[in-house]
Amino acid sequence: DGGITQSPKYLFRKEGQNVTLSCEQNLNHDAMYWYRQDPGQGLRLIYYSQIVNDFQKGDIAEGYSVSREKKESFPLTVTSAQKNPTAFYLCASSITPRGLSGNTIYFGEGSWLTVV
């Protein structure tokens, strides 16, 4: 099946540790995104990538890092610098013909990160 796979679904982190959330897509999409969702809230953009080896900061990038070495993969690392990392993390992707807009963004099932 085509889609976006996030893993793990649940992750516990000790304070001071870095953790990496995996996101893989087999939709052949150029663009990938990471969003953070706090309980009862909307989504906030952490990082996005338009193409391999390129990524841009979103609205809340501090304390996070990403890489885009392969088209299908966009892992997110939550570093110890992120002071309040407990949240639901959503990865997404879309086709992005340059100069066009209005493409559907597809989401993964999310990863729950809890600091213990």
Given candidates 58, 72, 73, 75, which one binds another protein under the rule CB under 8 A? 58
Given candidates 11, 27, 45, 61, which one binds another protein under the rule CB under 8 A? 45
- Check: CB of residue 23 under 8 Å from CB of residue 76: yes
Query: Cα dist. 62→51, 82, 88 in Å?
Result: 21, 7, 16
Query: Which string of b and e fits 21-30 if b means at least 16 CB within 10 Å?
Result: bebbbeeebb
Which of 24/30 has CB closer to another protein? 30
Which of 33/64 has CB closer to another protein? 33
Which of 11/43 has CB closer to another protein? 43
Asked if 100 touches another protein (CB under 8 A), the answer is yes
